[in-house]
Amino acid sequence: MTRLEENSEPAIEIRRLSFRYQGPTILQNVSLTIRSGEMVAIVGPNGGGKTTLLKLILGLLRAEHGEVQVFGRPPRRSWAQIGYMPQHSHLDPDFPVTVLDTVLMGRLGPTHRFGPMGRKERELAMEKLEQVGLVDKAHQPLNALSGGQRQRVLIARALVTEPRLLLLDEPTANLDLRVENEFHQLLRKINRTLTVALVSHDLGFVSPLVDRVVCVNREVRVHPTSEITGEVISKIYGGDMCMVRHDHDCAGGAPC
């Protein structure tokens, strides 16, 4: 965890939160604190409430009971401090847009809705592309990039808002192991200056990366990564699971 903000207010504070859509309760009596500067993984079974929790933190949903605060304020009043990368981007890969223009979309908002971006915005977008290692691709069509590169573009789009908190929903879904590893190394660098919370299905892979694991299955339990055992995994997912390590090489040097 970075020490830049360790003495500041929590990035996320949730107290006694419960939520349901119109049927069964999705989240029940959730209390959670994520400290400024942490990187946490949010894990759990499909339908357990991971994405719902993320939407409540974003203010896209309102809690039935309880309270959510982001940097001491209601989520909707903290949007300017939150960068968000959704699970499924709505960008049409065949739409004729450049990498730079895609990143600049992150600057659209209450203070700039329509019209061309100014020099300041474009310089900031180029800075974020350099941060994710794609500044040389700025003027290429988005659809010319690989899947992993497009994910980096979406990270840059989230970072161009200059947030203090970065939320990512399954950011490495459908990426191969080599690209996934590169992506996680990028998140390590981002975490030096930002709080990061990512939803992931791959507990074995993210555990070495994060400070704590937030386990969501209607209720929420938080574990230091050192406590993630087979018994804990069984409780999270409701059955026996196998953790697979990705931090060693197979014969020939290829990742396993």
What is the pLDDT of the chain when averaged over all its residues? Answer: 82
The string of pLDDT tens digits covering residues 70-120 is 999 999 999 999 999 987 666 666 778 899 999 998 887 654 455 567 889
Would residue 243 count as lying in a domain?
A: yes
Would residue 131 count as lying in a domain?
A: no
**Domain total for the chain?**
1
Q: pLDDT category, 56, cuts 50, 70, 90?
A: very high
Provide the Cα torsion 93, 94, 100, 106; round to 10°: -50
Name the pairing type of β-strands 12-20 and 25-34. antiparallel
The enclosing domain of 183 has a CATH number of 3.40.50.300
Would residue 149 count as lying in a domain?
A: no
Phi/psi at 190 (nearest 5 deg)?
Answer: -65, -35
Structural element, H or E, at residue 65: strand 65-70
Would residue 191 count as lying in a domain?
A: yes
Would residue 249 count as lying in a domain?
A: yes
Q: In DSSP terms, which residues pair with 65 in a beta bridge?
A: 18
pLDDT value, residue 243: 45
Would residue 98 count as lying in a domain?
A: no
CA atoms within 13 A on the CB side of 41: 26
Q: In DSSP terms, which residues pair with 219 in a beta bridge?
A: 217
The string of pLDDT tens digits covering residues 11-28 is 999 999 999 998 889 999
CA atoms within 13 A on the CB side of 173: 13
DSSP string spanning 174-226?
T--HHHHHHHHHHHHHHTTTSEEEEE-S-HHHHTTT-SEEEEEESEEEEEEGG
Would residue 113 count as lying in a domain?
A: no
Closest to 48 in 3D by CA, of 214, 211, 196: 214
What is the residue range of 185's domain? 12-88+164-253
DSSP string spanning 86-127?
-SS----TTS--BHHHHHHGGG-BTTB-SS---HHHHHHHHH
Would residue 223 count as lying in a domain?
A: yes
